[in-house]
């Protein structure tokens, strides 16, 4: 199993540009989530999904959209990038349709917004 994969690994955007961060998992996990990691802030939950067709907001959802059309994929969209969205983004998944179980993390996407 590849586990949780994320693309791209690095991305530089200009303010106002849009892009999609890709996340996929091959473990048939029902629960998937997106976090952002900022220095001194730990990880903060952006959006999560408990199964295909179901998404919900986390702690810091503003400026981000998600969708979950399949069990495997959970893309994160930045509609109009801002410098405050410069961060490292991690996707995670867990089994059982619940975030209560152990979460498996992807390798991260380092995003810089100029």
Partner 1 sequence: AQSVSQHNHHVILSEAASLELGCNYSYGGTVNLFWYVQYPGQHLQLLLKYFSGDPLVKGIKGFEAEFIKSKFSFNLRKPSVQWSDTAEYFCAVNARGGGADGLTFGKGTHLIIQP
Write out the residues near partner 1 by the rule CB under 8 A.
33, 35, 40-45, 48, 56-59, 90, 92, 99-100, 102-108
Q: How far is the CB of 17 from partner 1 (least distance, A)?
A: 25
Q: How far is the CB of 33 from partner 1 (least distance, A)?
A: 7
To the nearest whole angstrom, how small is the minimum distance from the Cβ of residue 12 to partner 1? Answer: 18
Nearer to partner 1 by C-beta: 58 or 63? Answer: 58
| Cβ-based nearer residue to partner 1, 85 or 106 | 106
Cis amide leading into 8 (omega within 30): yes
User: With respect to partner 1, which residue has the nearer C-beta, 41 or 79?
Assistant: 41
User: Positive or negative, the Cα torsion across 77, 82, 83, 84?
Assistant: negative
Cβ proximity to partner 1: between 87 and 103 the closer is 103
In whole angstroms, the minimum distance from the beta carbon of 14 to partner 1 comes to 26
């Amino acid at each position: 199993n590849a586990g949780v994969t994320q693309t791209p690994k690095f991305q530089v955007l200009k303010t106002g540009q849009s892009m999609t961060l890709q996340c996929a998992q091959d473990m048939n996990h029902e629960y998937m989530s997106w976090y952002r990691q900022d220095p001194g802030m730990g990880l903060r939950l952006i959006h999560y999904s408990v199964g295909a067709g179901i998404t919900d907001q986390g702690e810091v959802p503003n400026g981000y959209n998600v969708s979950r059309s399949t069990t495997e994929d959970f893309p994160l969209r930045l509609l109009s990038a801002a410098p405050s969205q410069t961060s490292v983004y991690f996707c995670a998944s867990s089994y059982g349709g619940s975030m209560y179980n152990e979460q498996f993390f992807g390798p991260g996407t380092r995003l810089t917004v100029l």
